[in-house]
Amino acid sequence: MSENSLTQIVQISVNAADIPRAVAFYRDTLGMKFLFQASQMAFFDCSGIRLMLSLPEKPEFNHPSSVIYYNVEDIKQVYEAFLERGVSFISEPHVVAKMGSFDIWMAFFRDTEGNTLAITSDVPNGK
C-alpha cells in the first residue's frame, strides 16, 4: 500500500435526532464505552474506532446510517441481555453463512433514532 491510500477507519458517524436519548441508549442499554460529549455530538469507543452520534448538519444529511455490525462473543447471551434491556430486535439470532468449521450468526435491531444495527458472532459448529 502506498502512503496515499486508505487503510484504517478512525471514526463512524451515526445520525441522531435526540442526543441525550441516543447517549442513554448506546451507553446504558448497549453498554458501550462513553468517551465525551461536545455540543451536539457524543462519542463512544469501539476498540479504537470512535462512534460519533450527532445531529445532521444539513437536511440532505438527515437519513438513517449504514448498518453497523458489532462483533460479540456469545450472540445468544447478548441477544437475551439486550431483550431484557428493552432493545427492539428486527430478527432473532440466525445463521447467515456456513463457513465450514464455524457459522456466522447475526441479529438485527434498531436504536432509539431509527438506525439499524446488528450483532454478529462466529459460532463454532455444534454450538
Name which residue leads in pLDDT, 57 or 18.
18
59-78 pLDDT, tens per residue?
888 888 889 999 999 999 99
66-115 pLDDT, tens per residue?
899 999 999 999 999 999 999 999 999 999 999 999 999 999 999 999 99
Question: What homologous superfamily is domain 11-56+65-124 in, according to CATH?
Answer: 2,3-Dihydroxybiphenyl 1,2-Dioxygenase, domain 1 (3.10.180.10)
HEC sequence for the chain: CCCCCCCCCCEEEEECCCHHHHHHHHHHHCCCEEEEEECCEEEEEECCEEEEEECCCCHHHCCCCCCEEEECCCHHHHHHHHHHCCCEECCCCEEEEECCCEEEEEEEEECCCCCEEEEEEEEECCC
Q: What pTM does this model have?
A: 0.85
Domain spans in the chain, listed from the N-terminal domain onward: 11-56+65-124
Residue 2, pLDDT > 80, answer: no
